[in-house]
Chains A and B, each alone.
Chain A
Amino acid sequence: MDTMPDKTDEMIVEEVQRGDTQAFGELVSRYEEKIMRYAGKFLSEIDDRKDVVQEAFIKAYANIQGFDAKRRFSPWIYRIAHNEFVNALAKKSKIPTISFDPDLLFPHPVAAETADGNAARREMREMLDMHLANISPKYREPLVLYYFEDMDYSHIAEVLEIPVSTVGVRLNRGKAILKELMHAHA
């Protein structure tokens, strides 16, 4: 239950920064469902998702003085969660977390954000739910943030710390992979 409905996330962060630790509970309440859902889609093969999410919130608290309250809180908390998920995946699969992505190298024309209708979005979510585990995290993550977390391109770019144009490229490729998977299983 939201105990501070008239306050923005950033206002609450300022209170936490001034020492009100209870106010941090309010931020946990506001974001835990979203972050748990995000974790569920991103870490589909990891059982201890709750531990990873708890760790993300604890890290957020420890680092909250480093947050600039003039910026949006939402990409910041998602970024921390993203880092925790990447670390958790790396621990499980023992793959290096630093890898070079050629998509980040060159500029791409910024793909226009498509205004999917509610029905199209719902259909896409259902398709994603079925095939998410078969899509690599590189494409899975922007798809999840776009279709399940309802983020726009700039918001996703902030979470993943990549150019907006790369978000468009990854979303388009992710959708193409999804369609291929649909055809293969039809």
Chain B
Amino acid sequence: MHNEQEKKSLREYVLGVIERGEVKMRPKWHFAFRAALYATGGIVLLLILIYLVSFIAFVLRQTGVLFEPSFGSRGWFAFFGSLPWILVLLSAAFIVILEILVRRYAFAYRRPLLYTALAIILIAIAGGTLISQTRLHGRLFQYAREDRLPIPFAGRMYRGFGGQRFMDIHRGAILKMGEGGFVLDDVRGGTSSIAVSPMTRMPPDGPLSAGESVIIFGEREGEIIRAFGVRRIGSEENEIFRVRMR
């Protein structure tokens, strides 16, 4: 009896609130608009993340850091030390925000967090790699160097990250082979003497010859670079960078 009365009173209370207009039913468009807003926000965040990943890939190639791991543990050590950590952390923050955003959808919350996080990372890497294959960043970098980039901060960002020089990574074409090393036509426009010793990790695919494009991992001592390792790279890699750097 008491239950029945309580039941009636709750129903009546709720209907009373509705009838007095104290609560309004939100229109359908409100939900459609909110869903569109979330979807747009998610897409924009994903696009920014893809752009960031592609920019990291560009910076790594541009500075030569991408090739460092091929020189063994010392190369890996240098690689982690040279990563653009601000960009990596910024990308990680975007991944977290995107993860929070997608968790509201059934397709995401029905699965473990790891799966959706991996899916976001994979999409970002795939998209970023695809964009880094285009000339987009190269052109923007060129504009930035010429001070023709109309986007605020972008010029400084491209010049700051893309123009970094690391002491231990050098790229260019072999100008002349010699005793104990070779002369490198640097992509930055100068020449350097490369000293090769029996300890130098030479390319496993045969001896070097003049004209080949290489990347050298080793410290510069004045005009000489003492090579810890040398690797062949595609000549087109150097051509792209040569145009950009000059």
CB neighbours of B11 from chain A (8 A): 25, 28-29, 32
Where chain B touches its partner, the secondary structure class is helix
Instruction: Decide yes or no whether B115 CB sits under 8 A from chain A.
Output: yes
A72 to B103, CA, bound (A): 20
Among candidates B18, B27, B104, residue contacting A21 with C-beta atoms closer than 8 Å: B18
- Quick check: A25 and B15 within 8 Å, CB to CB? yes
CB neighbours of A105 from chain B (8 A): 112-114
Instruction: Decide yes or no whether A33 CB sits under 8 A from chain B.
Output: yes
Instruction: Decide yes or no whether A173 CB sits under 8 A from chain B.
Output: no
Interface size on B, residues (CB 8 A): 29
Among candidates A21, A57, A157, residue contacting B19 with C-beta atoms closer than 8 Å: A21
Q: Which of A152-174 contact B (CB under 8 A)?
A: 157-158, 161-166
| Max chain A C-beta neighbours (<10 A), residue from B13, B19, B25 | B25
- Quick check: B25 and A65 within 8 Å, CB to CB? yes
A72 to B109, CA, bound (A): 17
Instruction: Decide yes or no whether A104 CB sits under 8 A from chain B.
Output: yes
Q: Which of A48-97 contact B (CB under 8 A)?
A: 50, 53-54, 57-58, 61-66
- Quick check: B114 and A62 within 8 Å, CB to CB? no
- Quick check: A104 and B23 within 8 Å, CB to CB? no
Among candidates A21, A64, A104, A161, residue contacting B15 with C-beta atoms closer than 8 Å: A21
Closest chain B residue, CB of each to CB of A154: B110
Instruction: Decide yes or no whether B153 CB sits under 8 A from chain A.
Output: no
A162 to B104, CA, bound (A): 10
Instruction: Decide yes or no whether A107 CB sits under 8 A from chain B.
Output: yes
- Quick check: A22 and B112 within 8 Å, CB to CB? no
